[in-house]
Structure 1
Amino acid sequence: MAEGRRTSRQADLGSGSEYRPLVTSDQGEDEEEIFQRKESDVSCPFSGYRFAMAVCGGLVVLCLLAAGLAYLSGKSACTLVDVVTPCGKVRGRHCGAAYMFKGIPYASPPTGRLRWMPPQDPTCWNDTLDATDFRSMCAQVQPLSKQGRVMGSEDCLYVNVWTSSLDHAANLPVMVWIHGGYLHILSGSEPGYSPTEELAENSHVVHVSFNYRLNAFGFMALELLREGSPTNTSGNYGFMDQVAALRWVQKNVRYFGGDPGKVTIYGQSSGGTSVWTMMVSPLAKGLFHRAIDISGSSVFTATMADAEKDNLLFLNRTGCQDAECLHQLSVPKILQSIPWDQYPDWAAEDLCDLPRKGHFVGPVAVVDGYVVPDAPLEVWKKKLEGYSDVPYVIGTTLQETEYAPPYSNLSQWSEEDYHWFVKVRLDTFGENLTKEALDLYPTSEFCSQPKRCVEKTFMTMVSDLRATCPNNVLARQAADVLSSPVYRYVVTYTPSRPAQISSLFSYDSWFAFHMLDTLGFFGTLDYVLGETTEDDHVFQRLIRKYFLHFAKEGAMPPEWPELPNATALLSTTLATRESYRSAQCSLWQRNGMFQYAWVN
């Protein structure tokens, strides 16, 4: 059986209500001349389609190659439009009924002496800033290994804005997207895994995405890096970037038609973990007003001191003995020195399998006492000052781990194979655990597709242990502490056909896989499934309906009860269940298995 398969990704690198945007063009044409141009003369963005996404808590990259977003191709001519912000004029595009501004700096490039330092305010500009193209993703390597391809740049701290109005008085709700990728990879401009023109046009919400520092550049905790630090901490620089991006939203979003008093943050996978971090960080308090945590990690306990010791392996690989040397290292050298496949195992390749007793993954995000004052659950339990008491949604999918399983022939397993694999892994924790697990996860529970009963059952078991059940604890704790409403959902929808990614993995995704809800919200299931049915479209509309309602109202509609009353099950309809999967979750919790939940 092939375990820990790595994947690769190919990637291209004014004021007042009377304000009206300036519509311009590169050739200085007036507005009438621009609108008279043929649609074929102006190309809208996203005409090519490369999509990467992180699976298994953000561990693995999924690349989808498609011909382009049909919605955008040739729909209407795009014109150039200028907006005046406090830092200067920015020029974006107006396509159809949506405006798009890409690559606006929210912080200075964290290069040179600013590497491994808190983000600094950007330098403003005198001329018009060209915001018609995305800027570089943050420095990363794919796949997550010493031999991986180095991509991106340290000059990467930029925001992107999609909006349907530039009227300062529009006061549209704002949704700020925090991308996933295990805190190691991806960006805020992944086509299909980020907001779109279509979403802005049909939601009446201002959508914002951004890049933040990743991997060693964003999360390396080392005692050497505390030297000269204004916070006397190391690590969590990427979280500091997220706070800086939210501050940018507060200062600037009104110029793009948004209401800075109605900001929702939402993120998936490690983006969901980031949302939880923002919830408990005093630095982020007041910068947002609702939060949606999609498939985030529930384990967040590592201290900065422990991480600094674990990361000495990185320091040894660099050959450096002081901070000055570290600051002079090249981007490739830093990325190649990360301990991807040796403890602390930043590649974390086994988190889509049942755990091995005593085998853990080291921390990326840490409790530093500055961005994160204490382990997040402890912040709530102790009711420490500074956390955000805002409406909160916690969501997972029923088969989170399903489309990057550890065994390439999982779809061919027999009932006997299933019992044998569960026994091999869980017997190390005690034979009683194995027996109870097999009793609670009979293959007959998931037999709507008879040829895949075993596969679906095993993936549900792993997903419950690693993600679904630990997130129930997080959600219950939030409901106990926050005075604001807290909601819990599980996506149970099985798409009409498998996610056809066999050109990149040796596996197709059949069930409610990691990211299904996010793809539904962004409306990109077509490009995962190849073809979609009306049920697929109904599911997408349902996800979008509830997320947008929450962003606009700060609450779900009456048919979706708050915790602890029930969990919402999202498919082509919304159903609610009390104590959903309580027997299965109780098994893992009372046997101490939540310590093996997804991290980072």
Structure 2
Amino acid sequence: MGMLDSVSISEATSRMQALYGENNKITNGDYDKSLAVKCINGTFVGKKTDNIIAYKGIPFVGKQPVGDLRWKAPVDVVPDDGVYEAYYFGKIPCQIGNVGQMGSLYPQGEDCLHLNLWKADDEGSGKKPVMVWIHGGAYELGATTEPREEGTNFVHENPDIILVSIEYRLNALGFLRLSHLPDGADYPDAQNLGLMDQLAALKWIHENIEGFGGDPDKVTIFGQSAGGGSVSLLPLVKGSHRYFKRVIAQSGSPAFCRSKEQSIACTNALLKALDCKTVADLQKIEINKIVEVASQVISMPLTTPERDGRFLPLEAFDAYEAGAAKDLDFMQGCTKDECSYFVAGFGVEGFMPWAKNCKAEKLAQCTDEEKALVEGYFENSLGEDYEKLSSFLDQYWFNAPLIRTAENQVRGGGKTYVYYFRVESAVPLLKSGHAIELSELFNHAEDTLVTGREFDKNFSKIMRKMWVQFAKCGNPSLSGDISPDGKDYDWPLYDLKDKQVMVFDEHDIRAEKESAMNIVDWDRTYFLTKYYVS
């Protein structure tokens, strides 16, 4: 988002660069043994701040995806008896610069497949639940170095869990179909590498987390935006359920993924712009150039996972209805004004042509009858033209896919809890926009670039406690004896009759029927989910 002035950008740049360092191998035996954990691929030594030990930049692959391994599936780790520093974040995935994602100010590289872990330094009793965070950024941007998502404060408040954050390849490095090219047979996985990276990280966590005091059989994956989309798609990957049991999808769903035909069209557009015909041609081009040009020629949504029928099912929503995730506990939700994020970021003048184009691309897929339904939605919407467009994008990008996923999860024999976040920012035009909850979720109330203000402290603490409680037992409800304010908060399961959701207002967290909140227009926008978002 374009909300930072030059002073803020300079401060953020300095802040990010100050965090960077290279983790080295320790060869002289001079390290704190109490901070060292032996894993399959090495012993990693963390740093302790107060009562929290952080392990940063741990590689979860045997070889980084550089050189001949570019556009190849992640390589599994191999046994290693070495001892290594885990003091600093690793490099972040290659991406275009974007001041709205602080991670993009951090040093980048293709050698980015690392994870970070925070745990309390306590003896404890028994193995702790593990929460694995997958960051957002439209599958184009972002990183685990985002200051608002740093894990120290979260674990300090909730020492009974372990928090992990993972990197994955983005944009044209993580989601670019190549197998249709003349020399593409050696790159069968290129269209879904970002998700494969996430799965490789989850495998590493499953095999090594006990050394940190974690329970490999009580792992919750959670993420927002593209991270929410990721945690909604990972359950559909064959064999993935051995690595996690619970899912929290924030402002993301299976809607953000492409068909094979759409992927081929995006790849061909990139090849044309770069004057390439083969993978060999692409390999000769500097990676920053590839990422930059891809962002210019591939329309919204940019690069996303592909429903290829091999790694992911051809119809993601149908897979939920068929029971693909019925053995997993789900929690999912969205904010009241998701796309006001783009209104505030682009400004009204910049938002209008972009949003009109998004609408036109969607309507081009619709029948005449469906187009009339969408126009009926606009006619009955309140506010200025930009507000109507923003509301429409809310519906088909976030609200309708959220509810369809919940409905299908229940139809498939599974269970889910649904929330609707309504707290508003103090930033002009943003309202309750995309990502507004993140700084409060990770207990970084000082990071007010998006919120513009601090939320009520008690409200934020209750929200965090609900997320943790879900990770611990699969039910986010709070009884008075564990609730931060001593009150009971009963969060009902979503069902096909009452369709109850938990409403997060700053001074009123309560259960309501979906119909009372008008989260989705069942007649005029719900059907758009069949077209996904691409």
TM-score, scaled to structure 2: 0.80
Counterpart-to-counterpart distance in 1, 2:4 and 2:285: 25
Q: Which one of the candidate residues 453, 460, 465 is aligned to 1:540?
A: 460
**Residue pair 1:180, 1:269 contacting (<8 A) in 2 also:** yes
Q: Which one of the candidate residues 86, 97, 118 is aligned to 2:40?
A: 86
User: CA shift at 1:459, angstroms?
Assistant: 4.2
Change (3 A) 1:597 1:577: farther
Partner SS, residue 403 of structure 1: helix
Change (3 A) 1:442 1:165: same
2:510 is matched with 575
- Unaligned runs of 5+ residues in structure 1 are 11-47, 52-62, 69-77, 349-360, 412-416, 444-452, 499-507
**Residue pair 1:295, 1:397 contacting (<8 A) in 2 also:** yes
2:424 is matched with 494
2:157 is matched with 202
**Residue pair 2:419, 2:501 contacting (<8 A) in 1 also:** yes
Change (3 A) 1:471 1:171: same
**Residue pair 2:323, 2:409 contacting (<8 A) in 1 also:** no
2:328 is matched with 390
1:365 pairs with 2:305: yes
2:28 is matched with none
Q: Aligned runs of 1:49-198 on 2, under 5 Å?
A: 50=12, 81-107=35-61, 108-143=63-98, 152-165=108-121, 170-192=126-148, 194-198=149-153
Change (3 A) 1:95 1:241: same
Counterpart-to-counterpart distance in 1, 2:177 and 2:125: 44
Q: Aligned runs of 1:305-344 on 2, under 5 Å?
A: 305-338=261-294, 340-342=295-297, 344=298
Counterpart-to-counterpart distance in 2, 1:160 and 1:383: 32
1:405 pairs with 2:343: yes
Partner SS, residue 282 of structure 1: coil
Identity of aligned residues (%): 23
Partner SS, residue 176 of structure 1: strand
User: CA shift at 1:119, angstroms?
Assistant: 0.3
Counterpart-to-counterpart distance in 1, 2:452 and 2:302: 40
TM-score, scaled to structure 1: 0.71
Code of the residue aligned with 1:403 in structure 2: it is: Y
Change (3 A) 1:9 1:324: farther
User: CA shift at 1:7, angstroms?
Assistant: 8.5
User: CA shift at 1:514, angstroms?
Assistant: 0.8
Partner SS, residue 199 of structure 1: helix
User: CA shift at 1:123, angstroms?
Assistant: 5.0
Change (3 A) 1:169 1:471: same
Counterpart-to-counterpart distance in 1, 2:81 and 2:435: 41
Counterpart-to-counterpart distance in 2, 1:548 and 1:149: 30
Q: Deviations over 1:4-47 (max 9, x none)?
A: x978999xxxxxxxxxxxxxxxxxxxxxxxxxxxxxxxxxxxxx
2:27 is matched with none
Code of the residue aligned with 1:377 in structure 2: it is: F
User: CA shift at 1:112, angstroms?
Assistant: 1.3
1:242 is matched with 198
Counterpart-to-counterpart distance in 1, 2:269 and 2:262: 13
2:186 is matched with 228
Code of the residue aligned with 2:153 in structure 1: it is: E
**Residue pair 1:93, 1:132 contacting (<8 A) in 2 also:** yes
Counterpart-to-counterpart distance in 2, 1:492 and 1:436: 21
**Residue pair 1:116, 1:237 contacting (<8 A) in 2 also:** yes
- More deviation, 454-463/238-247: 454-463
**Residue pair 1:162, 1:195 contacting (<8 A) in 2 also:** no
Q: Which one of the candidate residues 257, 260, 268 is aligned to 2:216?
A: 260
Greater fraction helix: 2
Q: Deviations over 1:298-351 (max 9, x none)?
A: 42563334412431121233333333333343212322341x343x41xx2xxx
2:401 is matched with 470
CA RMSD of aligned residues (A): 3.8
Q: Deviations over 1:449-505 (max 9, x none)?
A: xxxx9977764454234311331111111121133x20111101124x33xxxxxxx
Counterpart-to-counterpart distance in 1, 2:95 and 2:176: 13
The number of residue pairs the alignment matches comes to: 482
**Residue pair 1:8, 1:142 contacting (<8 A) in 2 also:** no
Change (3 A) 1:140 1:409: closer
Code of the residue aligned with 2:470 in structure 1: it is: F
Code of the residue aligned with 1:370 in structure 2: it is: R
Code of the residue aligned with 2:243 in structure 1: it is: L
